[in-house]
Chains A and B, each alone.
Chain A
Amino acid sequence: MTIRKIRVLVAKPGLDGHDRGAKVIAQAFRDAGFEVIYTGLRQTPESIVATAEQEDVDCIAMSMLSGSHLTLMPKVTRLLKEKEMEDILVIGGGVIPSEDIPLLKEAGIAEIFTPGTPTSLCVEYVKNNVTEKA
């Protein structure tokens, strides 16, 4: 039985330039033994999904502090669905009001991690929820 190395895309959609959170989580994923593909700031949903396809990732982790999460995060899950890539786990983090979280979950974002979440919790969540690729 081969054990897959977990590959995660850490992406920053939208226009805010604050990538500290994304870098912290990327580091935590690396320290957990994941391979982290980091794409930098200001990614469009289209470029995020194209990157996920080229990199064959198990998980897309999006960090957003711009307030446009209700537009951009669901767009990513919609594009994934169109491309039949729904087996990719999608999670989000950043400054996201609690009343928005149910809406995001409904749109297919599996979990939202708000400020103050220990990184170990995110790591465990990814480990337990990615789908093993056949």
Chain B
Amino acid sequence: MQLHEKILQGNVRAASRLIRNIEDGFPGAKATIAKIYPYTGKAHVIGITGSPGAGKSTLTDGIIAAFRKKGKTVGVLAVDPSSPFTGGAILGDRVRMQRHAEDPGVFIRSLATRGALGGLSRAVGDSIHVLDSMGKDIIIVETVGTGQQEVEIMNYADTVILVLVPGMGDAVQTLKAGIMEIADIFVINKAQRDGADMLDSEINILLDMALQDPNGWRPPVKRVGSKDEEQHFIKGIEEIVSQIIEHREYYSGNHEALNKRHRRKALFEIQAALQGAVLQPFMAQLAADNTLEDMIEQVMSRKSDPHSTAEEAARKYLGS
């Protein structure tokens, strides 16, 4: 049986191997993705993002449990950073989710960023397709701990959850462009701490001020308390899950908005694929015939500037 057939039957090892092949840029991986792609588009993709230590993995663990209780199968892609120096990584998001390790309805895969900047791994788009084609109902993508700018998750997720904690900054932080704009659901985690009320009202003021389509989705703000108070924690998680479902229903009842979101997703994936198809081989060729070395020399010695030397090389490569 071929790899893609095994994946379509839900085989875990085949799926994890294909994800590995995508990460490693292994020959044949793209062709396998092409074979499974027609079977994708069924899963609901949830993105969970927020600053380091905000509690993304713990919330992910709770959300997995809540969806399992509803009889849904769950795939998780947990992204952690690679070292910019050695390329190594410690992928530790699983620590909080290990109680699901032996559940055949849950597939958790850790991904390292491998130099990608948007808070994800370059393999994330294709890895979502792998989990989707395996038949997972829900796919959760947990980003690295993000700052203000890592918004790439919006291009992959059907529902983006932004996890905030009280006491991380004043009102101006909430006004900033970027990560605050991409949330479909706000979660105030560790809400037992001082400042939760303040943060809650700041987010709501921000939402009131934003130019909104009156029929549009207004992101709800949900609070989750400490995991030590288990009943509270579980209740908070259940509220998040019902908001996820509501958000999904909003989109399935709003064809135009859904279409817009899907278009954005498709365009982004095409752009990312073009980068891989054009830029990477181009760079490899420039490196192979030493052109790149000459270019670096030209730019360093100020004989040329980065734009001119890049344009010249691009013209040559593209043959125009």
Contacts and interface: CB of A to CB of B under 8 A. Distances in A.
Interface of A: 2-5, 7, 26-27, 29-40, 43-44, 46-47, 50-51, 53-56, 85, 133
A53 B17 CA distance: 9
Given A2-B25, A51-B101, A55-B110, A38 B87 contact: no
B16 A54 contact: yes
Nearest to B23: A5
Given A39-B98, A56-B16, A29 B26 contact: no
B95 A40 contact: yes
B94 A38 contact: yes
B27 interface: yes
B114 to A, nearest CB: 8
Interface string B86-129: 11111110110010011000011110101000000000000000
B16 A34 contact: no
B122 to A, nearest CB: 13
B12 interface: yes
A26 B89 CA distance: 9
Contact of B110 (A2, A37, A50): A37
B102 A37 contact: no
B242 interface: no
B98 to A, nearest CB: 5
Contacts of B27: 2
B6 interface: no
A54 B95 contact: no
B108 to A, nearest CB: 6
A35 B112 contact: yes
Contacts of B98: 39-40, 43, 47, 51
Contacts of B218: none
B259 interface: no
Contacts of B12: 53-54
B24 interface: yes
A99 B168 CA distance: 54
Contacts of A32: 86, 88
Contact of A38 (B82, B83, B90, B114): B90
Contacts of B13: 53, 56, 85
B261 interface: no
Contacts of A5: 23-24, 87, 112, 114
Nearest to B112: A35
Given A2-B27, A55-B16, A36 B102 contact: no
B150 to A, nearest CB: 20
The 3 tightest CB contacts between A and B, nearest first, are A30-B88, A40-B95, A56-B16
B68 to A, nearest CB: 15
Given A53-B13, A56-B16, A30 B90 contact: yes
B102 A34 contact: no
A13 to B, nearest CB: 12
B107 A30 contact: no
Looking at B98, B107, B114, the one whose CB has the most chain A CB atoms below 10 A away is: B98
A2 to B, nearest CB: 5
